């Protein structure tokens, strides 16, 4: 079927569109927005569009926070707690923008929100609600989740200088109040630093989103909406952990053990180690993931399932001989110990991670998926002068640098599968159950996959196979 003709933009709530058969069809405001985006409408044309009063969004509901009482973590099902609801569009603050979200992605924080662990994210929204008049908007009986997005700016607040309606953007999730003095060295150290769509409302798994201007970054022009949407959170996190002097600050020749090496953050970590002249040792749990890892250029691969490591004898006792077995396996692969351990599984692996790091080595941690009450043998830490470095997301400068590397084709998106907004619960379920590789994308306003490429020549130069590698293994 031929594409529908362009709609005449009108400030009314609905406008008409001529279908190829000559029939008239009413278009909703959201359809007009989508049409304008697909036609590369000018900034003035975008401003001329009326925004809808409400939009569809993936939410958890406050009256359901107790729904998982008595369930084990693994039995809590995001498909039951994540809903697609129609929500009102809030007024924006002077330093904010309204985004038409073309695509978003699932991060593990949406899993945490959907199973209300380790605590309900409504507590974060209540705290933000007490902070200011604008903060009060976030304290609602529903939480719009999602900490990634690619899309188009529809409106900017009066204090926004560097961006305008019509700009194509990706969104990073560091939500910082620039009036906090502590935010002016490393914004991750600001007292009220938050993660957008996790500790704030109006997140990215929705047709529209509200973000601060200092979350905006240019969309890599050679990527589709869904490829552009999956990177900001995980890519920036791994950039800070591996590259930035705020965390491990990897040097050329450093050997780096990466847990979950084809997962969300692990897949980007491997690329940073390779790009920076390091030697990655990737740990995964299936042959399919091992193959993906090899194709990404990681020569040294450990299949933890095949090896059957049991770092814990029982709930209370770790098994040092299993730590030694992992250390031996690493030495057999690369002939020495690793300088850096990229740690995030937490309780299950942390003791082993501290043990296998080389004398003077660094364990850089950003998470604790398998449990946050960590145990390790401190003798192995202090006697061998190792250090544990905490890392959390990335400041704007780091997120920008990580986005730039994507835009330059030096880091590839880890997108493996794409879901619709209605399937958000299913996508979160697959991450909760570790059924996925890389990143799972979600189409929000984008009607199909494959749209949004503005620079096909550069895409061809980077290479379709490289950009879409993770999809081969989905
Ligand atoms: P992900 O896509 O689920 O990948 C994590 C991978 O870790 C899994 O695929 C799995 O890979 C491995 N893994 C899980 N449990 C493990 C265990 N017990 N032992 C060994 N390996 C295990 O998640 P992600 O997006 O990479 O995020 C990982 C963690 O980091 C999550 O807890 C997330 O909340 C956190 N995170 C924190 C930040 C931050 O800024 N602080 C940012 C992003 C993510 P295999 O099965 O293949 O081994």
Q: Which pLDDT tens digit goes with each residue over 362-420?
A: 999 999 999 999 999 999 999 999 999 999 999 999 999 999 999 999 999 999 999 99
pLDDT digits (tens, 9 = 90+) for 432-446: 999 999 999 999 999
CB atoms under 10 Å from CB of 463, counted, come to: 12
Q: Between residues 177 and 283, which one has the greater pLDDT?
A: 283
Between the CA of 435 and the centroid of ligand 1 the distance, in Å, is: 12
Contact 369 CB / ligand 1 (< 6 Å)? yes
In this prediction, residue 16 carries a pLDDT of 45
All CATH 3.90.180.10 domain ranges of the chain, comma separated, are 41-234+395-472
Q: How confident is the model at residue 285 (pLDDT cuts 50, 70, 90)?
A: very high
**Whether 383 contacts 361, CB under 8 Å:** no
Ligand 1 centroid – CA 188 distance (Å): 21
Report the alpha-carbon angle 56-60-62, nearest 5: 120
Closest residue CA from atom 23 of ligand 1:
264
Query: Are 32 and 9 within 8 A, CB to CB?
Result: yes
**Which of 234, 344, 349, 402 to mutate to test ligand 1, by most ligand atoms within 8 A of the CB atom?**
344
Does any ligand 1 atom lie closer than 6 A to the CB of residue 259? yes
- Tracing tokens 């991450």 back to the chain, one arrives at 431
Tell me what the mean pLDDT of segment 131-159 comes to: 98
Q: Give the pLDDT confidence score for residue 66 in this predicted structure.
A: 97
Kindly state if the Cβ of 304 falls inside 6 Å of ligand 1.
yes
Number of Cβ within a 10 Å radius of residue 197: 32
Does the pLDDT at position 351 exceed 50?
yes
Report, at the CATH architecture level, how domain 248-390 is classified.
3-Layer(aba) Sandwich (3.40)
**Vertex 34, ends 28 and 36: CA angle to 5°?**
105
User: What pLDDT, on the 0 to 100 scale, is given for residue 25?
Assistant: 52
| Predicted confidence (pLDDT) at residue 2 exceeds the cutoff of 90 | no
Domain 41-234+395-472 CATH assignment equals 1.20.140.10: no
Q: Is the CB of 351 under 6 A from ligand 1?
A: no
pLDDT at res. 5: 34
Which is nearest to 417 in space by CA: 409, 426, 408? 426
Contact 379, 386 (CB under 8 A): no
Residue-wise pLDDT for 201-225, tens only, equals 999 999 999 999 999 999 999 999 9
**The two structure tokens encoding residue 25:** 């069809």
- 183 near 176, Cβ under 8 Å? yes
Give the model confidence (pLDDT) of 5-19 as tens digits. Answer: 333 333 333 444 444
344 lines ligand 1 (CB under 6 A): yes
User: What's the average model confidence in pLDDT over 79-98?
Assistant: 98
Alpha carbon of 152 to ligand 1 centroid (Å): 30
375 with 351: CB under 8 angstroms? yes
Nearest residue by C-alpha to atom 19 in ligand 1: 345
Distance 146 CA to ligand 1 centre (A): 17
Contact 270, 243 (CB under 8 A): no
Report how far residue 416's alpha carbon sits from residue 470's, in angstroms, rounded to the nearest whole number: 5
Nearest-atom number in ligand 1 for the CA of 283 is 48
Instruction: Indicate the top mutation candidate among 310, 341, 369, 392 to test ligand 1's pocket, ranked by most ligand atoms within 8 A of CB.
Output: 369
On the CB side of 141, CA atoms within 13 Å amount to 3
Q: At what angle do helices 396-407 and 232-242 cross, to 10 degrees?
A: 110
Distance 398 CA to ligand 1 centre (A): 21
Pocket probe mutation, ligand 1, options 196, 260, 302, 365, max atoms within 8 Å of Cβ: 260
* Tokens standing for residue 343: 């740690």
Q: Which residues pair with 155 in a beta bridge?
A: 98
pLDDT tens digits, one per residue of 42-63: 999 999 999 999 999 999 999 9
Residues 225, 102: Cα–Cα separation, whole Å: 6
What's the pLDDT at 177? 83
234 Cα: distance to centroid of ligand 1 (angstroms) = 10
Peptide bond into 118 cis (omega under 30): yes
Q: What is the pLDDT of residue 178?
A: 82
pLDDT(20) > 90: no
Of the candidates 415, 430, 427, 419, the residue with the CA atom closest to the CA atom of residue 470: 415
Closest Cα to residue 229, out of 197, 190, 191?
197
Could you tell me if 40 and 77 are in contact, meaning their C-beta atoms sit under 8 angstroms apart?
no
Checking if the pLDDT of 147 tops 60, the result is: yes
């Amino acid at each position: 079927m031929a594409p529908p003709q362009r709609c005449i933009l009108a400030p009314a709530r609905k406008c008409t569109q001529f279908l190829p058969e000559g029939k008239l069809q009413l278009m909703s405001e959201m359809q007009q927005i989508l049409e304008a985006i697909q036609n590369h409408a000018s900034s003035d044309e975008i401003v001329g569009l009326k925004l809808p009063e409400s939009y569809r969004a993936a939410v958890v509901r406050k009256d359901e926070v107790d729904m998982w009482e008595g369930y084990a973590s693994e039995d809590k099902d995001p498909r039951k707690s994540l809903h697609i609801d129609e929500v009102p569009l809030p007024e924006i603050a002077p330093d904010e923008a309204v985004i038409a979200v073309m695509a978003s992605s699932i991060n593990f924080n949406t899993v945490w929100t959907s199973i209300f662990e380790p605590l309900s994210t409504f507590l974060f929204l209540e705290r933000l609600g007490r902070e200011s008049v604008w903060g009060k908007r976030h304290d609602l009986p529903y939480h719009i989740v999602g900490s990634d997005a690619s899309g188009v700016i529809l409106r900017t607040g009066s204090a926004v200088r560097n961006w305008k309606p019509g700009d194509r953007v990706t969104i990073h999730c560091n939500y910082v109040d620039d009036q906090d003095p502590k935010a002016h060295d490393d914004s991750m150290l600001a007292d009220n630093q938050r993660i957008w769509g996790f500790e704030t409302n109006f997140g990215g798994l929705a047709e529209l989103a509200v973000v601060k201007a200092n979350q905006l970054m240019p969309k890599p022009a050679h990527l589709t909406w869904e490829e552009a949407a999956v990177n900001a959170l995980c890519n920036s996190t791994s950039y800070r952990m591996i590259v930035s002097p705020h965390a491990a600050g990897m040097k050329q020749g450093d050997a780096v053990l990466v847990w979950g090496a084809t997962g969300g953050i692990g897949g980007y970590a491997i690329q940073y180690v390779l790009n920076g002249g390091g030697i990655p040792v990737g740990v995964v749990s299936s042959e399919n993931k091992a193959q993906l890892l090899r194709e990404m250029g990681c020569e040294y691969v450990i299949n933890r399932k095949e090896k059957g490591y049991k770092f814990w004898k029982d709930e209370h006792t770790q098994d040092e001989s299993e730590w030694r077995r992992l250390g031996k396996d690493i030495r057999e692969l690369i002939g020495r110990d690793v300088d850096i351990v990229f740690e995030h599984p937490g309780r299950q692996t942390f003791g082993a991670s501290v043990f296998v790091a080389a004398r003077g080595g660094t364990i850089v941690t950003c998470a604790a998926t398998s449990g946050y009450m960590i145990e390790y043998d401190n003798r192995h830490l202090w006697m061998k002068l190792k250090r544990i470095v905490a890392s959390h997301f990335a400041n704007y400068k780091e997120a920008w640098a990580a986005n730039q590397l994507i835009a330059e084709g030096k880091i590839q998106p880890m997108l493996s599968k794409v879901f619709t907004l209605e399937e958000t619960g299913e996508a979160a379920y697959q991450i909760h159950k570790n059924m996925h590789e890389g990143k799972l994308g979600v189409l929000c306003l984008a009607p199909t996959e494959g749209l949004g490429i503005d620079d096909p020549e550069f895409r061809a130069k980077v290479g379709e196979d490289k950009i879409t590698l993770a999809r081969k293994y989905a």
